[in-house]
Structure 1
Amino acid sequence: MAFERKVVPLKGDTPGAVTEFTYYVIGPRDAPEKVHLQAALHADEHPGTMVLHHLLPMLRQADDQGLLRARFTVMPLVNPLGMATFALRRHIGRYDANTGINFNRRWPDLFSAIRSQLNGRLSDDERFNVNLIRKAVSNWIDAQQPRSANEQLRLLVLKEAHDAEFVFDLHCDDDSLIHIFTSPELMPELQDLADWMGAAATLTAADSGGGSFDEVLPQLYRKVALANPGKPVPMASATATLEYRGQSDVFDHFGADDARRLWGFLCERNLIDTDPGARPAPLSEATPFDATEIVRADRPGLVAYRVELGERVTKGQPVADLIALDGPEAFMARTPILATTDGLVLSRAMAKYAPRGAGIMKIVGKTPISGRKGAYLLED
């Protein structure tokens, strides 16, 4: 049994700057499986931090009682660097203020990093291959010389996450229902996770185009398998982004209920030795992410929504109006914005002033949308 609080100093990029990164390692050191949980990679998204705030005492008690069957790494605030970025009293936690890069984009391509270490070494034993891949990743991480505080942070997170059987990155949207992003190979395996969470949608993509954290390990195993036909290479890490509603939904009652639901999933998977109770009934099934429409404003205006979260809409239905802010009918004209697919209204933008091209809504459909397939699927 172990409940360890770890504090790692991240050397800053300016004189005298040091940021403390605090996280927890919990459970038997010799456990056969590992679970990695992290929240607030986008440092301005805090519902996941609230979930882990409620989950940590549950894990601590379970560890005291000898109920943990897995080793847990829990990072409730995985991006302390982003917590420091304010401009004009606004927290800018989504982007690195120095580079402008989204904190959840451009994570390393581990296959390219370790490919040469694997050449000719894979066997016909699946477990051997997984261990070989993980050892190669660990060696690559240890060999790196980080050039910035952000690189230090990323390498530390990868070091803890790369050998986990379950890797869950807790985020939130703007104003949204609960949903999941994951790889198509992991469904329907993770349908139980969706059911426990009460997910309104599970969106799958092999490559959404941005190099996000939740795709690092699936891309690694997928590419190794493709490069080594005939060798057994499983999708050894069940990795997903868990979207817990919207940015303003940081409340104890949500966090406590979401933690109990995540606990239920962990118990049903025998990662914690206690009865989870009955699994909740499913609310949705997985759909390809390229079937989700990102509704965008085709001109600047003030957004007036016509539909609510969770509402089902049809192609051609007006879902919002844009109120003109300039031109001959400024502040009087309204231009309807139409859905281009049938589906569920999953999220909406909280900011009602939309410049041209701004995404204002996501509608989850079932049929891939022309122009989305093979394209950059993310909003930014």
Structure 2
Amino acid sequence: MSFQQHAITLAGDSPGQTTALYWYSAGPENAPTKVHLQAALHADEQPGTMALHHLLPRLRDADAQGRLKARFVIFPSVNPLGLATRVLRRHIGRYDLETGVNFNRRWPDLYPLVAKAVEGRFTQDASANVALLRAAVGEWLAEQRPVTANQTLRLKVLASAHDADIVLDLHCDDLSLKHIFTSPELMPGLQDLADRMGVAATLTAEDSGGGSFDEVLPALYRKAQAANPGVPIPMAAETATLEYRGQADVSDALGIEDANGLFDFFAGRGLIDAAVAPAKPAPSPTPFEATEILRAPSAGLLAYQVELGESVRAGQVVAELIAMDGPEAFMARQPIRSGTDGIILSRASAKYVVGGASIAKIVGTTILPARAGGYLLED
């Protein structure tokens, strides 16, 4: 039996401060496929942790029965530093309070860091080329000397993920339907994951602009391909951010449903020896540039006119903003209209908003000129 809990102690940024990071491993150490699972990189997003809470016993039991055909590494709460960022009785687990940096932004662009180490060493053996890249990244990681606790944590997580074949980062939105972010080259290959999750949308982008964790490995292989034409370098890591509804959607019922979807996805891939029923097909992927991030024009109180999952047309009123100052304070209502045809994927739970705040994501199919080539994320 190889199912095992692991822990390391992260030295804190002030005297006497430490933090424990826990993770689990399961399955044969020499399995041909490695899976890296993590949840709560944004530490205030707990649906993924609940899903992994329910998945772990199933993996433990399958491991004991010899039914795991892959090596699984699971971080149920990958950001213990963010768990501690509470201010005035509020959990602010999305940002490093020291730097203000989002925990899921500014992950390293790996290929420029290892390009010199692999220069002239690629061959016509695709598997050997992947192994070369992974070894170079592993060596670069081992050479780093982190100063802060967050740097140490990031290096530990990357050390686990860099040589994985499947990397799934479990998140959630504010108020939202289930959806996936992934790289365009990985679709339709990950359509089975979308189907097993039962997502409302799969949004694809090569570079969303923020250096998100799920884009690190696709960028490594994509840039290696571009720098070495004529050399077989496959996109050797299937990575995705899985958005499990909204922050309040944490319950045993939902966690069991989500754990079952993950288990069936792995079983359907032959990574767990288990029979699974067919999944209901989810919508085909769309470019993230075709999703509108609808924002409030000024401060006010939101009155939504549409529900999650509702189809809207360009020009349709999505919400009305009640004025809270000026000559018509608490009387006037300003319409906020959709700029595209699509479905309402997310809304804001807090109805008092400031100017520029994201109030909805509208998933369309036509790339929006204002989104093409720009920063695609909400923060």
TM-score of the superposition, structure 2-length normalised? 0.99
Code of the residue aligned with 1:139 in structure 2: it is E
* Deviations 1:83-123, CA, capped at 9 Å, x for gaps: 00111100010000000000000001111111110110000
How far off its partner does 1:48 sit?
A: 0.2
- For the residues of structure 2 that align with 1:35 and 1:64, how far apart are their CA atoms? 18
Count matched residues. Answer: 379
How far off its partner does 1:343 sit?
A: 0.2
* Deviations 1:37-91, CA, capped at 9 Å, x for gaps: 0000000000000000000000000000000000000000000000001111000
- The RMSD of aligned alpha carbons is 0.5
Q: Within the alignment, does 1:258 sit opposite 2:243 as a pair?
A: no
Where does residue 236 of structure 1 map in the other structure? 236
Alignment of 1:213-292 (within 5 A): 213-278=213-278, 280-292=279-291
Where does residue 147 of structure 1 map in the other structure? 147
Where does residue 318 of structure 1 map in the other structure? 317
Q: Within the alignment, does 1:339 sit opposite 2:338 as a pair?
A: yes
Where does residue 207 of structure 1 map in the other structure? 207
Structure 2, gaps ≥5 residues long: none
Contact persistence 1:175–1:247 (CA under 8 A): yes
Where does residue 107 of structure 2 map in the other structure? 107
* Deviations 1:290-329, CA, capped at 9 Å, x for gaps: 0000000111110000000000000000010000000000
- For the residues of structure 1 that align with 2:282 and 2:337, how far apart are their CA atoms? 26
How far off its partner does 1:158 sit?
A: 0.4
Alignment of 1:127-166 (within 5 A): 127-166=127-166
- For the residues of structure 1 that align with 2:119 and 2:30, how far apart are their CA atoms? 30
How far off its partner does 1:274 sit?
A: 1.1
Code of the residue aligned with 1:164 in structure 2: it is A
Q: Within the alignment, does 1:306 sit opposite 2:305 as a pair?
A: yes
Code of the residue aligned with 2:298 in structure 1: it is R
Code of the residue aligned with 2:190 in structure 1: it is L
- For the residues of structure 1 that align with 2:167 and 2:201, how far apart are their CA atoms? 19
* Deviations 1:168-202, CA, capped at 9 Å, x for gaps: 00000000000000000000000010000000000
How far off its partner does 1:267 sit?
A: 0.2
- For the residues of structure 2 that align with 1:17 and 1:299, how far apart are their CA atoms? 41
Contact persistence 1:8–1:20 (CA under 8 A): yes
4+ runs of 1 displaced by more than 3 Å?
Answer: none
Contact persistence 1:263–1:276 (CA under 8 A): no
How far off its partner does 1:349 sit?
A: 0.7
**Identity over aligned pairs, percent:** 63
Q: Secondary structure at the match of 1:81?
A: helix
How far off its partner does 1:371 sit?
A: 1.0
- For the residues of structure 2 that align with 1:300 and 1:285, how far apart are their CA atoms? 36
Code of the residue aligned with 2:55 in structure 1: it is L
Where does residue 51 of structure 1 map in the other structure? 51
Contact persistence 1:35–1:166 (CA under 8 A): yes
- For the residues of structure 1 that align with 2:124 and 2:341, how far apart are their CA atoms? 46
Where does residue 173 of structure 2 map in the other structure? 173
- For the residues of structure 2 that align with 1:17 and 1:115, how far apart are their CA atoms? 37
* Deviations 1:124-147, CA, capped at 9 Å, x for gaps: 010000000000000000000001
Where does residue 60 of structure 1 map in the other structure? 60
* Deviations 1:214-248, CA, capped at 9 Å, x for gaps: 00000000000000000001110000000000000
- For the residues of structure 2 that align with 1:261 and 1:88, how far apart are their CA atoms? 37
Code of the residue aligned with 2:224 in structure 1: it is V
- For the residues of structure 2 that align with 1:283 and 1:183, how far apart are their CA atoms? 17
Q: Secondary structure at the match of 1:265?
A: helix
Where does residue 21 of structure 1 map in the other structure? 21
Where does residue 294 of structure 1 map in the other structure? 293
Where does residue 71 of structure 2 map in the other structure? 71
Where does residue 330 of structure 1 map in the other structure? 329
- For the residues of structure 2 that align with 1:270 and 1:378, how far apart are their CA atoms? 34
- For the residues of structure 2 that align with 1:230 and 1:217, how far apart are their CA atoms? 20
TM-score of the superposition, structure 1-length normalised? 0.99
- For the residues of structure 2 that align with 1:283 and 1:272, how far apart are their CA atoms? 22
- For the residues of structure 1 that align with 2:109 and 2:240, how far apart are their CA atoms? 17
